Every structure is written in structure tokens, then in C-alpha cells.
């Protein structure tokens, strides 16, 4: 579990770069890692994030056809649900990994589970990729490049801090100093039995 987030960053960067070889929201993911492994889950997680990043770009086109916009909005909703489901699978991995660890009497809980912190790390990889693209643009003025370089530096610092924080958290869970308690997201808007707009349609 040592340096887990360093490995995660490398997988996230690879997935982001693999996506941009095709650079299309309908690109087929070719996950290079064995199904059932944590590496496979991490790669898939980042692929979802990078596709959604581009869907968010497309839907902000001021000239987009409204019908197309609604189609993409619903696709983003499905993507968010898939992202949430995958984060919970990553937390299941950690719950199983640490299942034999007995928390110390003074162990404390973290503000978020490991997988939700890793979710932010994945999104950071996508931000860094695109901010680096902005720094390398040749069709903009120097001020734009300078501003983006500053932002890129902040993103890199943020990734280093978050990487260290996650690895510290995982180490402390392994030592019993922290303990995991996972609350499922229980999103209601995609559930036809919980969203009143959806279940009212079936009762009429």
C-alpha cells in the first residue's frame, strides 16, 4: 500500500493520454489492466472522468442544438452515476484490504473515504493535462500562457499535496490510527423508485 497514490497518478496519466490518442467522447476504452484488479478500476475511473470533461465542454457550445444538449446532459447524468458506482467499488477494495486491521482505541475517522480522495486525484490528472495544453498553445498571447502556467503550477502542487495526504491516510488506516466508514451515496435522482418525477409517471 506504500506509495499507492504515486501508482494511481501514473495510471490516471496513462488513461488520460490514451483517450487523447483518439480524442473523441465515443472512443472505445481499451483498459490494459486485468479485470478485477485495482489498476483496472483506476484506469476505468479516469477514463470516465476524461470523457465527462469533454462532454462538459461540448454542452457549453452556445450554438449547440437544444435536443443535442439534452441528450448530452442525460449522458453526463449517466456518467456521474457510473463514476459514483466506481468510486464505491474502489472503496470496497480498501475495505477488503484493511479488513483484518483492528483500529486503535483512539482511532479517528477521516472526513472522506480513500476512494473519494482518489476521485479528486483522478480529476486533477485531467485538469493538469488540459492546463498543460493551454501553456503549450501558440495561437494565444503571452499573458494567456503566463496565467495558465501559474495555474498549472498550482495544480501540480495540489496533486503533490493530495498524493501525500492519501498515502498518509492509507498508512494510518493500516496502522489502526484511522478507520474507514463508508457511506454509500444513495443518489436519488436516477432511481425511479425515489425520484418523484419518475415514480409519478408509473402511478398514473
The helix (run of H) or strand (run of E) holding residue 79 is: helix 66-97
Whole-number Å distance between alpha carbons of 144 and 78? 34
Residue 197: per-residue pLDDT: 74
Each residue's pLDDT tens digit, 69-115? 999 999 999 999 999 999 999 999 999 999 999 999 999 999 999 99
Instruction: Choose among 144, 135, 125, 161: nearest CA to 53.
Output: 125
How confident is residue 185, by pLDDT bands cut at 50, 70 and 90?
low
DSSP 8-state symbol, 146: H
Q: Residue 170 CB: number of other CB atoms within 10 A? A: 23
Each residue's pLDDT tens digit, 162-181? 999 999 999 999 999 999 98
Predicted structure pTM score: 0.90
DSSP string, 3-68: THHHHHHHHHHHHHHHHHHH--TTPPP---SPTTSHHHHHHHHHHHHHHHHHHHHHHT-TT--HHH
Amino acid at each position: 500500500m506504500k506509495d499507492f497514490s504515486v501508482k494511481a497518478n501514473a495510471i490516471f496519466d496513462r488513461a488520460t493520454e490514451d483517450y487523447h490518442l483518439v480524442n473523441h467522447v465515443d472512443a472505445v476504452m481499451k483498459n490494459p489492466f486485468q479485470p478485477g484488479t485495482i489498476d483496472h478500476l483506476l484506469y476505468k475511473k479516469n477514463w470516465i472522468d476524461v470523457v465527462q470533461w469533454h462532454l462538459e465542454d461540448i454542452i457549453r457550445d452556445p450554438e449547440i442544438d437544444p435536443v443535442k444538449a439534452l441528450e448530452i446532459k442525460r449522458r453526463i447524468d449517466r456518467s456521474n452515476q457510473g463514476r459514483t458506482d466506481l468510486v464505491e467499488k474502489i472503496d470496497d477494495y480498501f475495505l477488503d484490504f484493511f479488513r483484518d486491521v483492528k483500529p486503535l482505541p483512539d482511532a479517528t475517522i477521516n472526513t472522506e473515504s480513500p476512494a473519494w480522495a482518489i476521485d479528486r486525484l483522478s480529476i486533477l490528472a485531467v485538469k493538469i493535462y488540459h492546463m498543460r495544453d493551454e501553456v503549450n498553445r501558440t495561437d494565444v498571447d503571452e499573458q494567456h500562457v503566463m496565467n495558465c502556467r501559474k495555474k498549472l503550477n498550482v495544480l501540480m502542487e495540489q496533486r503533490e499535496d493530495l498524493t501525500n495526504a492519501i498515502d498518509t491516510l492509507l498508512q494510518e488506516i493500516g496502522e489502526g490510527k484511522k478507520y474507514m466508514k463508508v457511506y454509500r451515496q444513495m443518489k436519488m435522482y436516477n432511481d425511479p423508485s425515489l425520484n418523484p418525477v419518475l415514480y409519478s409517471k408509473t402511478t398514473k
